[in-house]
Amino acid sequence: MQLSYRGFSYEASPATMPNQQNLRTAKYRGAIYQIVNLKTVKTETKPELKYRGITYTPTSA
């Protein structure tokens, strides 16, 4: 679908619903509902930060 905002045209991408496998059933105060089971990606690299022009790698305290 072609959309425009303030003269800028763009193509809208349809929203995708999560698969039934990605849903998890939860219960709070008697109400049952479904939440999306998100996958997290672990990163092994430490970030390089810069403070006042000096690059450093943080250490865990």
Over the stretch 14-53, which tens digit does the pLDDT of each residue have? 776 666 667 888 899 999 988 887 777 777 777 888 989 9
Say if residues 11 and 2 touch (Cβ distance below 8 Å).
yes
Say if residues 56 and 49 touch (Cβ distance below 8 Å).
yes
pLDDT the model gives residue 7: 85
Say if residues 15 and 1 touch (Cβ distance below 8 Å).
no
Query: Is the confidence at residue 56, as pLDDT, over 90?
Result: no
Alpha-carbon gap, residue 26 to 31, rounded angstroms: 8
* Predicted model pTM: 0.30
pLDDT the model gives residue 19: 63
Longest CA–CA span in the chain (Å) reads: 54
pLDDT the model gives residue 13: 77
Query: Is the confidence at residue 61, as pLDDT, over 60?
Result: no
